[in-house]
Amino acid sequence: MMQRTVLSARSQWLRWLAGSTLVIGLMACGGGGGDSLPVPTPVPPSIATQPASLSVQAGQSATFSVVAAGDAPLAYQWLRDSNAIAGAVQSSYTLASPTIADSNSRFAVRVSNPAGTVTSAEAVLSVTMPAVILPPPGISVVKADLGSVGAAGADAAGNTLFTR
């Protein structure tokens, strides 16, 4: 917490508004001049590390994080496309199983304390489909009754090239 110093004046009441706290001090009469009254000034929140954009495959979790500074207590509220996410009030937010519909969503976090509020930059979520591996043309893959896998290949004329 930063402090400001209010220089004393003999036989005077000093009033100082620091943030939302009114500080009243009575300075001694008749001597000593140069006394000072430290007045705490709350430090508003700031974003030290912005949340990063993420690219995940559908079904994989996506976690956004922020590092904030400022006087405690710091309160967090995550936003999705500028709307508050219910219950998302920590320094990180995890989307457990995103789908393609979640792609291009914008996530940000609002951090506040008694001295102020700051909103992070937006991070964009990109969701892709997992790769699907298909057999080469002309090869069929079948599952046998006992759980083993077999394959067969044929040329364009239908001649069997191999079986397994």
Q: Is the pLDDT of residue 13 over 70?
A: no
Q: Where in the chain is the domain with CATH 2.60.40.10?
A: 46-128
Q: Which residues touch 110 (CB under 8 Å, ≥6 apart)?
A: 76, 77, 78, 79, 117, 118, 119, 120
Q: What is the pLDDT of residues 94-135, one digit of tens each?
A: 999 999 999 999 999 999 999 999 999 999 999 999 887 777
Number of CB atoms found within 10 A of residue 108's CB? 20
**Predicted TM-score of the model (pTM):** 0.62
Q: Which residues pair with 3 in a beta bridge?
A: 40
- CATH 2.60.40.10 for domain 46-128, yes or no, is yes
